[in-house]
A = this chain, B = another copy of it.
């Protein structure tokens, strides 16, 4: 066993034990612990900013781009808003204990399916140190121990934040019995420590990667722990023959340009040929005015010869930038086939006034979210009213789409009888 392995197993073992202690605790206990964490973060602002400064200095010395340094930096104001987010999580309902299904069986047995925590949730993430607190708070609220593996670039910040949270938990332990070990940082910054986490089937119940496509693909490929795949969004807006053009323009512009670096931003616009002449000139002008580079197929080019010719790669790319691929199709089914071929099954939108077109699109498009006459940007736990989200699942097992607190739980069947035996 290497030192890294030994250190990892020690920390993961503590998380495992903490999970067992945490699981049966009441909502009140968990909320008290969360409030204590929020207060401790604010109270320890100075120490947190100091630790963060080490990361920022290292990033500057390594010549990281300014945008990355900005994402990394913690200020007193940002720490205040991180603490506020924890307070908001405390206010959300506790999913644990919810009876999902229940019945009396013919033989008189009482069957209840009850939400329980998953156990230990591993989270591998990049960049922003606020994720450290956010993920830990969501895990704690849902009764799970958190085993966090942040970016090496934020290691000093993350170490300090986890330390502050652990001390806060220890201070209210007598009231709450929430174990201080419930929030753990995977020790070390090397690749080996991430691999430990991905192989820790005995310690970790689920692994959630949060970050870019390459991080997520690495985790999916290398992890033997069950993974919930999040994030990649090659999202489409389809403007149907029966679309209201005003709504179509507004939805397309909002889906593309309201915020471009996020997974629910649109990357490809598909336009029915029957509406292309009326719709495309307007939407392309608006998008161009906002600074969007347009990549069109031949038929788009025939309407607007200033578009960049689209290649196969454009259809397949999640730009996350001020770029949009545009294609004219001759039917809803052609749009659906395009989506089937290129989509990452995150979010697709149809703009139409036709009931039958909407129904067919919803039924044939196999994505986590399908929007009818609404922007793709609405696929979001906050927008859906979940109060918070740990990520947006791109997969079909366990959770699909925005994952709130209930998606961070499993269930247990509780069956109550009075000496019942099976015939």
Could you tell me which A residues sit within 8 Å of B by CB distance? 20, 23-24, 103, 105-106, 109, 111, 113, 116, 118-119, 205-206, 221, 224, 226, 228, 244, 246-247, 250-251, 253-254, 258, 340, 358, 362-364, 366-375, 377-379, 383-385, 395-398, 400-402, 410-422
Contacts and interface: CB of A to CB of B under 8 A. Distances in A.
A400 B396 contact: no
Given A226-B226, A366-B412, 5 more contacts: A23-B366, A24-B363, A371-B415, A371-B416, A374-B419
A417 B366 contact: no
- Interface of chain A, helix or strand or loop or mixed? mixed
A374 B119 contact: no
Contact of A118 (B246, B397, B417): B397
Contacts of A111: 384-385
B254 A422 contact: yes
Contact of A422 (B103, B369, B383): B383
Contact of A24 (B206, B364, B372): B364
Kindly name the residue among A106, A228, A367, A384 whose own CB sees the greatest number of chain B CB atoms within 10 A: A384
Contacts of A374: 109, 415-417, 419-421
Given A372-B414, A396-B206, A400-B412, A258 B119 contact: no
Contacts of A364: 20, 23-24
Contacts of A251: 419-421
A22 to B, nearest CB: 11
A379 to B, nearest CB: 7
Nearest to A409: B396
B116 A417 contact: no
B372 A246 contact: no
A334 B49 CA distance: 46
Contact of A119 (B224, B396, B402): B396
A324 to B, nearest CB: 16
Contact of A247 (B250, B367, B419): B419
A401 B364 CA distance: 31
